[in-house]
Amino acid sequence: MENCKAMEEMKPAMVMVVVQILFAGMNVLYKLVANDGMNLRILIAYRMMFAAAFMIPIALFFERKSRTKLTWTVLYQSFLTGLFGGTLAQNLYIESIALTSATYAVAIYNLVPAITFILTIF
C-alpha cells in the first residue's frame, strides 16, 4: 500500500523525465537529419503537418460544444501566432541545431525563460 502511494507521488516527476528524454531524442534526430542534408524548411513543414493532423481531431472532439465564432480578428491573430509563435521559433531552433551541436542548442534553449525575464525587467 505504501509503495503504491510512493509511485503515485512520483508520477509527475517520471512524466517530466520521459518528456525530457523524448525531447533529447528529438534533438538528436534533428541533428542527424540536418547533417544528412535534408532541407530544414521541409522538416519544419512536416512537423507542422503532423502536429495539425494529430491535434485537429482532438480539438474537434473536446471543443465540439464550445466553438468560438470565426471572425477576421481571430483569423489574423491565428496567422500571427502561427507565423511568430511556431514557425519562426522552430526555424531558428532547427537552424541553430544545424550550425552547432545539439547539446549547445538545447543549453541555450533552456536559457530562454531567464533571458525573457531579464528583457521584461528592462
Q: What share of the chain in percent tops pLDDT 70?
A: 99
Higher pLDDT, 70 or 57: 57
6: left (phi over 0), alpha (psi -120 to 50) or beta: alpha
Range 42-61 average pLDDT = 89
Q: Phi/psi at 82 (nearest 5 deg)?
A: -65, -40
Question: How much is the pTM?
Answer: 0.67
Checking if the pLDDT of 52 tops 70, the result is yes
Average model confidence (pLDDT) for the chain?
Answer: 86
Crossing angle of helices 89-99/2-36, nearest 10°? 70
pLDDT digits (tens, 9 = 90+) for 84-113: 877 888 888 888 888 888 778 778 878 888
Q: What pLDDT shows up at residue 1?
A: 64
Q: What pLDDT shows up at residue 76?
A: 93
* Identity at 84, one-letter amino acid code: F
Q: What pLDDT shows up at residue 15?
A: 93
Q: What share of the chain in percent tops pLDDT 90?
A: 12
Q: What pLDDT shows up at residue 54?
A: 93
